[in-house]
Amino acid sequence: MNLRDRKILHIALPSIVSNITVPLLGLIDVAITGHLGSAAYIGAIAVGGMLFNIIYWMFAFLRMGTSGMTSQAFGARDLTEVVSVLLRALFVSLGISVLMLCLQVPVRELSLYIIMPSEEVAALTRTYYNICIWGAPAALSLFVLTGWYVGMQNSKIPMAVAIIQNVANIAVSLLFVYGCGMKIEGVALGTVIAQYIGLGVAVGLLFRNYSRLRKYLCRQLVLTTASLQKFFLLNKDIFLRTCCLILVHFFFISAGAKQGDTELAVNTILMQLFTLYSYIMDGFAFAGEAMVGKAIGAKMRSIYDDTVRHLFRWGWALAAVFTLAYVLFGNAFLSLLTDDATVLEAIHIYQPWTFLFPLCGMAAFIWDGIYIGATATKGMLISMASGMAVFFLLYVLLVPLFANHGLWIAFICYLSARGISQTLMRQSIMKSAFSKQ
């Protein structure tokens, strides 16, 4: 294994570990509420968790934008800008948090109006939401710090923070629910407290490992008009891209629900295979963000080209491994998620579409990381918009003819369209990225 591969794995593997902690925590929350004596508690966790997933997902630009700008400044050895990017992004995250807290009631009620849960679930969701919303400042600040650490070529600290935060969440939630007799309030408080514990750890490790950077702090450069304009211009594209992504994924779920409970269950379970694959590939996308941004900042086109080649070698290898695993062991894995005979029978009908996830989605994941490192956010938005257009066009054309099979064809083609469009734009995007340096 050569030096480039080792650097990729040095960033990718800790990022993968961090990603995997997310679904594990959700399972723990469901397990805790599942023993509270009413299915309404599980429903409230599902609805409340979905609300915060959407809300925080929309502000993922705080992580991605910070990562790209930091890695480029780090590659250029512009340590003043490295510090400025961090403080600028934290300032913006604080402003968004204040806005979220001010608008918490209308956002909550609008969301519940759209979802329309039962009265009991809605009441419990309000309780959960009213507590968890106060974790927004910590959650958004952690987005920024994670992006900054990745941009500094350090994914071990975000991994440590994620592990500590999730262990704390489980411990505190169990203490409140079973030790103090609380119910959904205990789960929500556990989440908020763990978020601030995670933030405290992230900030503590920042001072421990990067205190030498304080001498590069220049307050006059943090919030200049030009720097804020650049920050919002880049992140506007990422925000719109994320909105497109959310629209496709939630329309996919909604369209499955319209075809019946069995199809909804089948699509939900099969999408777990895509989620599993995405957690692994996101680790290599993080490596692309860090290493490509550093190469562009240092004006080293040869290192950029070599990094891209090695990233795609890993991508093709993982796509082949996942495809083989899904073909050979997909049935066994899916059987762990449900024992409903009707659902399992239907799963076998649609399961072959999951064999296409790895090969059709690989390029989109790898290019996303590369484009973020290059701060080529306009290209990311264009590719996502083109993929979304393909999805809805094929949905209109194929679902009336092939029902749920048509929906899966639309989703697979959406993944492929993203990767193809990014591949076609790569030369102009990278020429622009290097010319700006």
Dist. CA 154–CA 161, nearest whole Å:
12
Mean of pLDDT values over 371-393: 93
Contact 158, 15 (CB under 8 A): yes
| Three-state helix/strand/coil letters over 297-345 | HCCCHHHHHHHHHHHHHHHHHHHHHHHHHHHHHHHHHHHHHCCCHHHHH
201 Cβ contact partners less than 8 Å away, ≥ 6 residues apart: 160, 161, 164, 165
Residue 19 tokens, joined: 């990603």
54-58, 65-69, 131-135, 319-323: range with lowest mean pLDDT: 54-58
Q: How confident is the model at residue 220 (pLDDT cuts 50, 70, 90)?
A: confident
Residue 171 tokens, joined: 């411990």
Q: Output the pLDDT for position 39.
A: 64
Is a pLDDT exceeding 70 seen at residue 87?
yes
Q: Output the pLDDT for position 259.
A: 77
Cα–Cα nearest to 281, from 7, 5, 79, 20: 20
Q: Output the pLDDT for position 244.
A: 93
User: Using one digit for the tens of pLDDT, what is the confidence trace for 191-211?
Assistant: 899 999 999 999 999 999 999
Which amino acid is present at 360? Answer: C
Contact 295, 75 (CB under 8 A): yes
Q: Output the pLDDT for position 287.
A: 94
> How many Cβ atoms sit within 10 Å of the Cβ of residue 208?
9
Cα–Cα nearest to 315, from 263, 272, 242, 369: 369
220 Cβ contact partners less than 8 Å away, ≥ 6 residues apart: none
Mean of pLDDT values over 411-431: 91
256 Cβ contact partners less than 8 Å away, ≥ 6 residues apart: 263, 264, 266, 267, 268, 404, 407
The model carries a pTM of 0.88
The residue extents of the domains of the chain are: 1-222, 224-437
Is a pLDDT exceeding 80 seen at residue 28?
no
Rounded to a whole number of angstroms, the distance between the first and last alpha carbons of the chain is: 31
Q: Output the pLDDT for position 91.
A: 92
Mean of pLDDT values over 92-104: 94
259 CB-side CA count, 13 A: 23
Q: Cα separations (Å) of 167 from 67, 193, 196, 403, 404?
A: 26, 12, 13, 43, 39
200 CB-side CA count, 13 A: 10
Q: Output the pLDDT for position 201.
A: 96
User: Using one digit for the tens of pLDDT, what is the confidence trace for 232-283?
Assistant: 888 899 999 999 998 998 788 778 777 776 787 788 778 878 888 998 999 9
